[in-house]
Amino acid sequence: MDSPPIVISASPHVHSDRTAKRIMYDVVIALVPAFLVSVYVFGIHALIATTAAVGSCLLFEYLIQKYFLRTEVTILDGSALITGILLAFNLPATLPVWMIIVGSLVAVGIAKLSFGGLGYNVFNPALVGRVFLLICFPVQMTLWPTPVENNTSLVDAISGATTLGIIKDGLQIGETMGTISAQLPSNMNMLLGITGGSLGEMSALALLLGGLYLIIRKVISWHIPVTVLATMAVMTGIFWWADPTQYVSPIIHLLAGGAILGAFYMATDLVTSPVTKKGMVVFAIGIGLITVVIRLFGSYPEGISFAILIMNAFVPLINKFFKPRRFGSKIKATIV
């Protein structure tokens, strides 16, 4: 009898159908609604910026892995695609394409591959790219195209500040919150995405929709996004309650400045966030606190990118300190 070759391997002999690739592409799917909103708001600019970021991230990963590191090329695993999309989402839609390419090189080349590639990077690659651009090109990086209500097709001519930028500038020249508020977009417009800001932070609603999808698909757990937003709400709420002439309401803080984009898509990056739920909560509280401190007292109007990068650096320590409780450890030897 010519028997077929029999495979011997150690248990388990079954595997769940969840793969890293599927997780990555789920993130991509979750970002689609927000992308559609940004195309609606910024038109061709959103398409150009996203294509440039995604294309250059994939290209750089391919070139570096193939010709520089001479390792396996992993551009199809979805991670470079996500880095590209998230980088684009964090930029002004009208940023010159060559700057986007520089940002992609920093994100993929420095933040990801020089640390050892997927799984070994300490910092969120897209955010490193974004912060690098913000420091190098502060003018261009804060020139936000602002959509005009009921005329969302042409945005070239108008450049304005973001919601948080208006507040910070207003406070600096001594205006009161009352006069500043008149210049702010309505909460409803912020929720829907008709406001000034980076490409992907537009619509809180679209981002929340994608975030919900990620939670339902178990790509992320609720711990990080909910804790980040709750911490921010509590902190900014306290200040607003104490002095509403100097501070805006927590609702504006949550809807503006990429808080939701950061909380659901950047802070939850699997590689650069803690592995235990306890660790995630601590990490998220840190992000919330630092974000609020930067927004209220720092020189930048927005702070979540910095906050996430700072907390990324603490992840190894958090993982070491917040371990899962071992079964059967430190229990009272009582018999009921």
Nearer to other proteins, 109 or 197 (CB): 109
Q: Does 19 bind other proteins (CB under 8 A)?
A: yes
**Which of residues 171, 271, 307, 311 is near other proteins by CB under 8 A?**
271
Q: Are 319 and 282 in contact (CB under 8 A)?
A: no
Cβ density class 68-82: b for 16+ within 10 Å, e for less: eeeeeeebebbbbbb
Q: Does 273 bind other proteins (CB under 8 A)?
A: yes
Place of tokens 């689609």: 32
Q: Which stretch binds other proteins (CB under 8 A): 4-12, 32-40, 95-103, 173-181?
A: 4-12
Q: Which stretch binds other proteins (CB under 8 A): 3-11, 164-172, 198-206, 258-266?
A: 3-11
Please list every residue from 72 through 101 that binds other proteins, using CB under 8 A: 77
Q: Does 6 bind other proteins (CB under 8 A)?
A: yes
Quote the tokens at residue 28. 């991509």
Nearer to other proteins, 135 or 333 (CB): 333
Q: Does 270 bind other proteins (CB under 8 A)?
A: yes
CB under 8 Å, gap of 24 or more: what pairs does 165-171 form? 165/196, 165/301, 165/302, 167/248, 167/252, 167/301, 168/301, 169/301, 171/246
**Which of residues 73, 143, 276, 289 is near other proteins by CB under 8 A?**
276
Instruction: Kindly report the backbone phi and psi dihedral angles of residue 75, in degrees, each rounded to the nearest multiple of 5, phi listed first.
Output: -70, -15
Q: Tell me, by CB under 8 A, how many residues bind other proteins.
A: 43
Q: Does 327 bind other proteins (CB under 8 A)?
A: yes
Distance, in Å, from the CA atom of 240 to the CA atom of 101, rounded to the nearest integer, reads: 40
Binding-site ranges for other proteins (CB under 8 A): 3-16, 18-20, 22-23, 77, 117-120, 270-277, 323-329, 331, 333, 335-336
